[in-house]
Amino acid sequence: MASDTDTDVLVLGGAGVDTIVHVPELPLPFADSYMIRPGIETRAGQSGDFVALGLTALGLRTHHLDMVGDDHEGDLVRALHRDQGIPLTAIPQSAGTKRAVNLVGPDGQRLSCYDGTRAGADDRLPEQTVRQLAAASRHAHVVITHPCAHALPRLRETGLTVSTDLHNRDGVNPYHEPFALAADVVFLSATALADPQHAMRDIVARGRARIVVVTAGAAGAYLLSAGELTHVPAIAPPAPVVDSNGAGDAFASAFLFGWLKGEDPLRCALYGVSIPTSSRVSPSLPTGACVLPAVAPGDSSPAGWAVLLEPAPFVGPVGPALALPPSEPPHATGVAVSVTTAAAAAMERRMTRRTAPGWMGGLRHVDRANT
């Protein structure tokens, strides 16, 4: 998919600031107070920021467009993009920059509390700006924030392919409909879906999507492409997951990296499940490495991941049959290890058909055994 455009991926929406609070358990029992360790951290990085960081780390030319306030949180967002070399077009937002508080349990799972005052019903991304940036791009990834819904028709006018992440869509809430039906590639979480297979096929039947991917945490991911449903198991990390913030965005970044290179959707999904289930990764690792979750939850490096780049087209965490070389030192915030192209091909060759109970009946299963 060669292109002479200036930008590989235009990311719309999802710029903001999260305050991360590590709590002893979720749900958090009522108490007058808690002592929080390793501390409370406020940093730039919401869904659009994470995708832009991931794509940039993977070597794709990325531009981020969103509404950002003239406030402290906006300064953090602008500094993150500046420091990571990601072009940002920040449309003034009088209500302030998006922000949230994320409670993170010991297992890395989270509860997100979004500030609903930082948006307005009349918020829009300027149509001319959307058209100009889209005309210089190969692809658009659209975060499900309110202004982005109104930008979808402008993106379609330019002929761009579009992806989106519906996050915790339940298949009923009409808010997600414009995004679900306008995108060519749709990601969503299994968390709120009563019947994931029905939801996936419904999106394809009613919308433009050629590919739908449901991410399911430790269960891996489910890929619907060309009418066939495939289960791609997760690779178990060798260290505890300390923070799941950005995990789905990391998956989407890796998947899009493969898809924009013309890879088969299954290989793209293999890229996705090989990205760590933690966003707490240093952006400073050398290219060609994928970072495993940080061992200690106190790292203050900005969210972002390195790096799934050639010449190692398939990179992933240490799996059951993939031993970390004894000479490989642990990184300050993770461990880097490459999986060869041959290993990735072997995974694909070992695909077997299985019948699974419930909604998974008849799916194709990617068997990682003995790979």
How far apart CA 15 and CA 8 sit, in angstroms, is 19
State the residue for tokens 């990571």.
Answer: 84
Q: Residue 153: CB partners within 8 Å, gap ≥ 6? A: none
What's domain 7-16+45-92+122-366's architecture? 3-Layer(aba) Sandwich (3.40)
How far apart CA 93 and CA 119 sit, in angstroms, is 8
**CB 139, CB 161: distance < 8 Å:** yes
For the chain, helix (H) and strand (E) counts, in that order, are 9, 17
**CB 303, CB 253: distance < 8 Å:** no
Render 297-325 in DSSP notation, one character per residue: TT--SPSB-----TT-S-B----TT-PPP
Q: Write the pLDDT tens digit of every residue in 244-293.
A: 677 889 899 999 999 999 999 999 998 888 764 333 333 333 223 333 33
pLDDT, position 241:
62
Phi and psi at residue 347, to the nearest 5°: -60, -45
For strands 228-232 and 62-68, give the pairing: unpaired
Q: Residue 47 burial by CB count (10 A; 0-12/13-18/19+): exposed, middle or buried? A: buried
Query: CA 289, 292, 298, 302 torsion: positive or negative?
Result: positive
CA angle, 141 then 280 then 249, to 5°: 15
How far apart CA 181 and CA 206 sit, in angstroms, is 7
Query: Which letter, b or e, does each residue of 222-259 get, where b requires 16 or more Cβ atoms within 10 Å of its Cβ?
Result: bbbbeeebbbbbbbebebebbbbbbbbbbbbbbbbbbb
pLDDT, position 56:
92
Each of the 371 residues of the chain gets a pLDDT tens digit; together they read 445 679 999 999 999 999 999 999 999 999 999 999 888 999 999 999 999 999 998 889 999 999 999 999 999 999 999 999 999 999 999 999 999 999 988 877 889 999 999 988 899 999 999 999 999 999 999 999 999 999 999 999 999 999 999 988 877 889 999 999 999 999 999 988 888 899 999 999 999 999 999 998 888 899 999 999 999 988 766 566 666 677 889 899 999 999 999 999 999 998 888 764 333 333 333 223 333 332 223 332 323 333 332 222 223 332 222 222 232 322 222 222 223 333 333 333 333 233 333 444 455 656 544 33
Q: Residue 315 burial by CB count (10 A; 0-12/13-18/19+): exposed, middle or buried? A: buried
pLDDT, position 330:
26
State the residue for tokens 């109104």.
Answer: 150
Tell me the chain's radius of gyration from C-alpha atoms: 20
How far apart CA 346 and CA 369 sit, in angstroms, is 10
State the residue for tokens 């993150």.
Answer: 80
Q: Residue 343: CB partners within 8 Å, gap ≥ 6? A: 314, 322, 371
**CB 138, CB 160: distance < 8 Å:** yes
Q: In 159-306, which ranges are continuous DSSP H helix? A: 177-182, 196-206, 247-260, 265-274
On whether the pTM is more than 0.85, the answer is no
pLDDT, position 110:
84
pLDDT, position 371:
35
pLDDT, position 57:
87
